[in-house]
Structure 1
Amino acid sequence: MSMFKQVDVFTNTKFKGNPVAVFFDADHLSKEEMQQIARWTNLSETTFILKPSTPATSYKVRIFTPATELSFAGHPTLGTCFALLEAKRIQVNSKGLIVQECGAGNVEIEPIGNLEDLNSIDLQLRVPRYDFHQVSDEAIEDISQLLGLPKDQFDTPVLVEIGPKWVVVRLKDGQSVLDLEPNHGALTDVSIKYGWTGLCTIGQHNDEGTKWEMRNFAPAEMVPEDPACGSGAGALGAYLGVHQKGGEGVYHISQGNKINRDAHLVSTVKPRVDSEGFDVFVKGHAITTITGFY
């Protein structure tokens, strides 16, 4: 029998973050079996740990929503890494990093804190990629209707492709994000129509622009509202720090308040050390809630 863990991500309080189901030693499972299991767990994401393809990576992971496989996602990346660290299956390399192999390429993860006390550490990943795409006038009209908001109540949306394809919609403030009641049926149709993962809605809570509310809606992926979205946090950082500012930034994010969660994420944008442009990082806590076998 192989190990199974359910890890709560972007929280240090059990049942207040976003759970990911982590299946160890999954090389024997087919893609169809993985998808069936992910549909059965009915979590926003389920991961399957495989043997790495090269010595440069610590492990390989495949990530599934209940509906499809993803090339990359944030909370499954950090949750899987935490599960492996807790099981003493992986160690940091000479640079103090863990390297995950996934569909989007290699993802660097840095444990921050004392590895002898895993419940006190942060895990920080570097987003493997981000690209910006214009959203058409027709799509903006669709967004306005499904959110029930006139177009002057939000900034021009931008599609941020970060593995998942999040349309980032900035509202006037954090309370406006909390007040949203989107039409999930319409969003499902619109997401399928344009090939989006869903909407990443954001609004700031303070004048300094360091504290943000975020809600991610992906009903086409069978995730009506994500309790805490790492790729969404990466999209937020890329949008605010790179697309709007073209510079550095640190963004503290609250998520899950409308669905009885209390998740906290940090997205940081820094200039790249060895090339032009900026790197986007996403950081948070994790804690195991269930350990078993399958």
Structure 2
Amino acid sequence: MNTPLDRRTVVLDVFTAEPLKGNPLAVVIDAEGLSDAQMAAYARWTNLSETTFLLPPTDPAADYRVRIFTPGGELPFAGHPTLGSCQAWLDAGGVPREAGVVVQECGVGLVQVRQIDGAPSRLAFSAPPLRRSGPAEPVVMAQVMRALRICADAVLGVEWIDNGPGWLGVRLRDAAAVRALVPDFVAMRGLNVGVIGAWPAGGAVDVEVRAFVPDLGVPEDPVTGSLNAGLAQWLIGSGVLPARYVAGQGHALGRDGRVHVEHIAAGEWAGVWIAGDVTRCIAGTLRL
């Protein structure tokens, strides 16, 4: 065990401009020298959906490296930890190698993060390529029906949208059906399930999203960037959703997260971008 040191740490609320409405993230800024066991233990202790640790990059193209832990283990990539970790790095004095874009190194490789013009607290990450895609197998679809306690005619599609955490996307008929879900987490074992349904046009948000990850010690995640990235790649790519929309998430947990999704067809920033506001709630030191 290393000698305890005081390390800078912050707790940020991601995907909200209003504190306590998004998804909290603990970030240890001075994480160099911590062991895997210490990182895992601190993530279990915070009991947040994710806790991250900032480290010097190993790739010369990256500005920093991040390791992402849930209470149940380490992830190669996650969305709200990407935005929150980038903001923490910038607030701690980080200066990107290239003006206007920060390059994060994580388990899936390099991820670009940029600030949104006209929204000083809002960052966006470039959705990484899907590791697995396509329709779910019949046995998986049957498990999803049991886990969500719904029948097959309530579902418009079930696809793999795995960009690191192993997401399986489920499209329901409308947002009300998404909010009404009361999952069976025992039946869901082995799956990370994201559910989406559309709201009527003209509301504050366009779709409602929920994320269930019981195997990672987080039965329901408040607001989920990686899931929204996978859903966007699936549903914009198939023409179901427009190139720009806003997702709401967190209602069942008393949150009101906002995920701003945009597909840029060409140019320097071509791809799917997932944006959200980042609000700092706590700053201090950690003895670890």
SS in 2 for 1:285: strand
CA RMSD of aligned residues (A): 2.1
Unaligned runs of 5+ in 2: 1-5
Bigger helix fraction: 1
Match of 1:5 in 2: 10
Q: Does 1:137 align with 2:118?
A: no
Displacement of 1:161: 1.1
Cα shift readout 1:185-211 (whole Å, capped 9, x = no counterpart): 211x2x2xxxx4x11000000258970
Match of 2:281 in 1: 289
1:24 pairs with one of 29, 47, 51 = 29
Structure 1 residues 254-265: aligned runs within 5 Å: 254-265=248-259
Match of 2:234 in 1: 239
With over 3 angstroms needed to count, the CA separation of the structure-2 counterparts of 1:91 and 1:173, relative to structure 1, is same
2:211 pairs with one of 190, 207, 216 = 216
Instruction: Point out 4+ residue stretches in structure 1 off by more than 4 angstroms.
Output: 207-210
Structure 1 residues 1-150: aligned runs within 5 Å: 1-88=6-93, 90-113=94-117, 120-130=120-130, 131-150=132-151
| Number of aligned residue pairs | 279
SS in 2 for 1:22: strand
Give the Cα–Cα distance (whole angstroms) in 2 for the partners of residues 122 and 264 of structure 1.
11
> Any conservation in 2 of the 1:184–1:219 contact (CA below 8 Å)?
yes
Displacement of 1:133: 3.3
Give the Cα–Cα distance (whole angstroms) in 2 for the partners of residues 201 and 223 of structure 1.
15
Which amino acid in structure 1 is aligned with residue 256 of structure 2?
Answer: D
Give the Cα–Cα distance (whole angstroms) in 1 for the partners of residues 242 and 173 of structure 2.
22
With over 3 angstroms needed to count, the CA separation of the structure-2 counterparts of 1:208 and 1:271, relative to structure 1, is farther
Which amino acid in structure 1 is aligned with residue 73 of structure 2?
Answer: T
Give the Cα–Cα distance (whole angstroms) in 1 for the partners of residues 52 and 64 of structure 2.
12
Displacement of 1:245: 2.1
> Any conservation in 2 of the 1:121–1:285 contact (CA below 8 Å)?
yes
Match of 1:156 in 2: 157
> Any conservation in 1 of the 2:199–2:206 contact (CA below 8 Å)?
yes
Give the Cα–Cα distance (whole angstroms) in 2 for the partners of residues 123 and 237 of structure 1.
17
> Any conservation in 2 of the 1:248–1:270 contact (CA below 8 Å)?
no
Q: Does 1:185 align with 2:186?
A: yes
What TM-score, normalized by structure 1, do the two folds share?
0.89
With over 3 angstroms needed to count, the CA separation of the structure-2 counterparts of 1:247 and 1:256, relative to structure 1, is closer
Which amino acid in structure 2 is aligned with residue 147 of structure 1?
Answer: L
Give the Cα–Cα distance (whole angstroms) in 2 for the partners of residues 27 and 287 of structure 1.
25
Displacement of 1:136: 1.1
> Any conservation in 2 of the 1:237–1:251 contact (CA below 8 Å)?
no
> Any conservation in 2 of the 1:218–1:226 contact (CA below 8 Å)?
yes
Which amino acid in structure 2 is aligned with residue 94 of structure 1?
Answer: E
Displacement of 1:274: 7.6
With over 3 angstroms needed to count, the CA separation of the structure-2 counterparts of 1:247 and 1:254, relative to structure 1, is closer
Cα shift readout 1:190-239 (whole Å, capped 9, x = no counterpart): x2xxxx4x110000002589700000000111111111000011011011
Which amino acid in structure 2 is aligned with residue 168 of structure 1?
Answer: G
Which amino acid in structure 2 is aligned with residue 101 of structure 1?
Answer: E
With over 3 angstroms needed to count, the CA separation of the structure-2 counterparts of 1:217 and 1:247, relative to structure 1, is closer
Match of 1:266 in 2: 260
Unaligned runs of 5+ in 1: none
